Chain A
């Protein structure tokens, strides 16, 4: 059983609880840096894909997991970031400026949209954001002059300080580019969470009224959360555009919005780890299905008939299992297992039991 003895306020504030924890993450970092030399280019591409989804997951997690606002429309902001980035690059803006700029502009657009939309709660907010995602698909087609309409756009080649970075040509460089961006966003996210703004976010999630009575400006804070979320997701969208090479309005459809939400729920709502775990599931699921399908059709002699939609259906099925049996997500289960070993043999089964609340209607006639 580990006991952490804190001697100063900094012990609470700092990023790692104790030396061993910092050590484990250091090992993880070294592993990530060494990855290109451990696996081949195809799997490196898959890892890059997982990282891009992690960025998107972090963006959505800030809004949904930490600020408690549901969004079924974030693919629209991925699309915005993606198209903005490519359009700027087409006009000659270097990648190193166009990427953050695309994120910032997407963030501003998010803030503007947030002001009317975040006044809604619960199911209404879900439906409004759903509408945003559906509308964005049509708006992209209508704005054909800039977006190429149904045909879509091709991602411009990236060139940073003379170094050409291409997903197929130089996969290692692309991987490191995405890794660096992921780490930067991760650090910023953790910093916000340990600062007053992060606490304001979670206060909004748990009780808007008392947050307000303590001085949290509800609309401003919600808008900030939404803006940050959209900015990060916009950056993820831009990277996804480069990863895919070409994209159109169907690349960022409602299904993607829903998948992002399902992803962070599977990973574990309310924790940064959840974004990464969820991204791993999304990234690795197609491979897993391919492998099991081959072995199953081998047993039953079905032949290799591709079943359309099986990936989304399996993903949905995993989510149903998670929601029913482990609502805290993959990270939640990991937390329970780790606590079990940390507290051994004093672990009690109901330590993480969530308070069940009986329904009391929020409608008052």
Chain B
């Protein structure tokens, strides 16, 4: 395949990984917990949008279905925090990790029970359309993925830096007790963050399913998104995206140039190397505890 095809395709994949990684980092930045089910959120978001817009289900207009799907996932994230994650308030980090792992299992099972295990593709108005830039032919979906991802990342980055709510979220993550004292509604903010993560996951799912088939176990590519978040450094939003792009680009080139079987281990091998030699990732935020 052409170099540019590989690159753009890799970038598009990388954007999806980056979006999932963005979801991780959002929740981590706000609550120092990691949502191991973020990949499965993405899968759920994709299936919800498929259910709304595909002709074999509800068949709504694409431009109507997408915002509804995003809204549903946002509400789902919010409710999840409200009823489940909040009970974990004050418990050690490991509890939420294990909880979300289990949640992932349940989501996978539920999706399979509701929609079956056959791979499905999201019907979009721009399926099959192409962009011609010079001699390069690009799928419209791929370009859409890249553009949407960049815009979303920029929006979130600015949101955390400038918006009052974003700053409040940062404060709540750095010192909960102090945040309470200054009047920040910590618990409600936490739920908002989970809702936001749900929204981001939905966007990722919609973008992914428009380009490739999705089935209940697709959420497991959340593990690759982990690698992305780690490489970028867990506290950094743009880092998550860049990490995702790195993995997304490495994958097709690795499978092209390396013998079969080795290409699959490339993302994880890179991640382990980063963890061992530069554990804080490329955009470090963690340092030693002061006594």
Contacts and interface: CB of A to CB of B under 8 A. Distances in A.
Interface of A: 70, 116-117, 119-120, 122-124, 126-128, 130-132, 134-135, 138-139, 141-142, 209, 254, 258, 261-262, 265, 307-310, 312-313, 315-317, 319-320, 323-324, 327, 354, 356-365
B227 A131 contact: yes
A70 B94 CA distance: 8
A362 B32 contact: yes
Interface stretch (B2-10, B160-168, B269-277): B269-277
B289 to A, nearest CB: 6
16 contacts: A116-B276, A123-B34, A124-B275, A127-B275, A138-B264, A258-B101, A310-B109, A312-B109, A315-B102, A356-B91, A358-B176, A361-B175, A363-B286, A364-B286, A364-B290, A365-B285
Interface in B73-121: 84, 87-95, 97-99, 101-106, 108-110, 112-113, 117
B: contact size bracket: 35 or more
B223 A134 contact: yes
B291 interface: yes
Query: Which secondary structure dominates chain B's binding surface?
Result: helix
Contact of B95 (A123, A142, A315, A327): A327
B265 A320 contact: no
A361 B173 contact: yes
A313 B286 contact: no
Contact of A356 (B90, B117, B174): B90
Contacts of B275: 117, 120, 124, 127-128, 131
A302 to B, nearest CB: 13
A360 B290 CA distance: 13
Contact of A139 (B101, B235, B265): B265
B173 A359 contact: yes
B157 interface: no
B276 A117 contact: yes
B126 to A, nearest CB: 34
A312 B94 CA distance: 20
A127 B268 CA distance: 10
B261 to A, nearest CB: 5
Given A116-B276, A309-B109, A313-B110, 20 more contacts: A70-B94, A70-B97, A123-B234, A126-B97, A127-B227, A128-B271, A131-B271, A131-B275, A312-B105, A312-B109, A316-B101, A316-B106, A316-B109, A319-B99, A323-B98, A327-B95, A357-B90, A357-B92, A359-B175, A363-B285
A361 B91 CA distance: 14
Contacts of A138: 261, 264-265
